[in-house]
A = this chain, B = another copy of it.
């Protein structure tokens, strides 16, 4: 029993932290609960007079299945569901008519073949990566509606009525979902994407600063392992690709909201993310020199490049953080450009310094890693310039 209590308390604590981390999760849960309750009770009172119809529960099912975390995801699913139900219903009625016009004996054969071929083709189409990404759910609903209507074994007039009531109940479910989703604390995928992009750029800035601090600390041989958490930020950036892509997909479905127009340049975020990830990959190479089997260079070597490297890292890191603010506030910032200029100047000087061949008498195995780090930092400055350009382009496009 003690174990049970333990399990309950730990999961309760976990759930609490999970909710605290992003309170919108709790709000979302209550929103879904509200929508389902409203639709359920609406039909509950209806049942009292008419009894439960097949179609009535489609409204409840629609809410459960369509209500997603963000407005864009919900709209995407809802529109998919509406269109797929419509096309599936139409084709289902057609198949049913075709079958019943052929006479009683041939009917099941015609029906069987049409169900077999249409579902096979729809299943195949579902497998295409592009369809899977955006219309997987729509294809499923299409197959479902088509089967249910074509095979229902009713007479023609009833089939059309059934298709009609199914469509109308789905619409009731969809509108309840849509209204609650948009008007009660909406979660916009576009805003999440926007913030994610800014946060990723900021993470790179923090990682760069942390690297600078750590690298020149380790070369001074006092390895204090305290400031570990911020260091891994760049890894998150690399792995956030699929999240960004799905957010862009969702954001496209969203209507105008807040500072985002209807046709906000969502694609530009993909480009920024591409440059950000490119930069993060260079961080991977850079951090490789912190953890690698190749020993970090002794102090007399690192000291010579330390000043320029530090200037460059810090200026570049400031520039990245400024860019994050630029995105967040959607304003231009002259600061980021100034920082970037300083970083570029430091990079140029560092290149000259490396070129002048500073350590002819040292062990090359010590010199090369230090120099490679310097060159990587220079490349990171180049990447940052690219990020700055794409962010600038975003601010032009979104005007």
Asked if A368 and B365 sit within 8 Å, CB to CB, the answer is no
Do residues A144 and B375 form an inter-chain contact, with CB atoms below 8 A?
no
Q: Are B140 and A64 in contact, with the CB atoms below 8 A? A: yes
Q: Which residues of B are found within 8 Å of A45, using beta-carbon distances?
A: 108
Contacting residue for A36 out of B57, B143, B282, CB 8 A: B143
A369 interfacial contact with B, CB 8 Å? yes
Of B36, B47, B108, B117, which is within 8 A of A119 by CB?
B36
How far is it, in angstroms, between the C-alpha of A47 and the C-alpha of B148 when the chains are bound?
Answer: 12
Contact of A41 among B26, B108, B154, B371 (CB under 8 A): B108
For window 80-96 of A, CB contacts with B under 8 Å fall at none
Of the residues B37, B51, B144, B360, contact of A115 by C-beta under 8 Å: B37
A359: min CB distance to chain B, Å: 9
What 9 pairs across the A-B complex have the smallest Cβ distances? A33-B120, A285-B285, A47-B153, A29-B124, A372-B372, A29-B123, A32-B123, A368-B371, A40-B151
Is A25 an interface residue, CB under 8 A from the partner? Answer: yes
The one of B19, B34, B48, B375 that contacts A153, using a Cβ cutoff of 8 Å: B48
In the complex, what distance in Å separates the CA atom of A124 from the CA atom of B119? 34
A134 interface residue (CB < 8 Å to B): no
A292 at the interface (CB under 8 A from B): yes
Judged by a CB distance under 8 angstroms, whether A355 is at the interface is yes
A60 interfacial by beta-carbon distance below 8 Å? yes
A262 within 8 A of B: no
* B147 and A40 contact, CB distance less than 8 A: yes
Interface hits, A101-126 → B, CB 8 Å: 108, 111-112, 115-117, 119-121, 123-124
Q: B147, A64: Cβ atoms under 8 Å?
A: yes
Q: What are 22 of the A-B contact pairs (CB < 8 Å)?
A: A15-B124, A28-B127, A32-B120, A33-B119, A33-B120, A37-B116, A40-B147, A41-B111, A41-B115, A44-B111, A44-B151, A52-B54, A54-B54, A60-B151, A61-B148, A64-B140, A64-B143, A69-B127, A285-B285, A294-B379, A351-B365, A372-B375
State A154–B48 Cα separation when bound (angstroms). Answer: 9
In the complex, the count of this chain's copies comes to: 2
A226 neighbours in B (Cβ, 8 Å) = none
A37 to B110, CA, bound (A): 11
Task: Answer whether residue A241 sits at the interface, using C-beta atoms and an 8 A cutoff.
Answer: yes
Instruction: Select one of B116, B147, B356, B363 contacting A355, CB under 8 A.
Output: B363
Q: A28-B127, A354-B364 are in contact. Are A115 and B36 (CB under 8 A)?
A: yes
Give the nearest-CB partner of A51 in chain B: B153
Q: Is the CB of A282 within 8 A of B288?
A: yes
**A124-B19 in contact given A52-B152, A355-B364, A364-B357 (Cβ < 8 Å):** yes
Residue A242 at the B interface, CB < 8 A?
yes
Interface string of A229-244 (1 = CB under 8 A from B): 0000000001101100
Residue of B nearest to A40 (CB): B151
- Interfacial residues of chain A within 139-165, with CB under 8 A of chain B in the complex: 140, 143-144, 147-148, 151-154
Residue of B nearest to A118 (CB): B33
CA of A174 to CA of B67, assembled, Å: 26
Residues in B neighbouring A284, C-beta threshold 8 A: 281, 284-285
Given contacts A116-B34, A147-B60, A285-B284, contact A379 B54 (CB under 8 A): no
CA distance A128 to B64 in the complex (A): 17
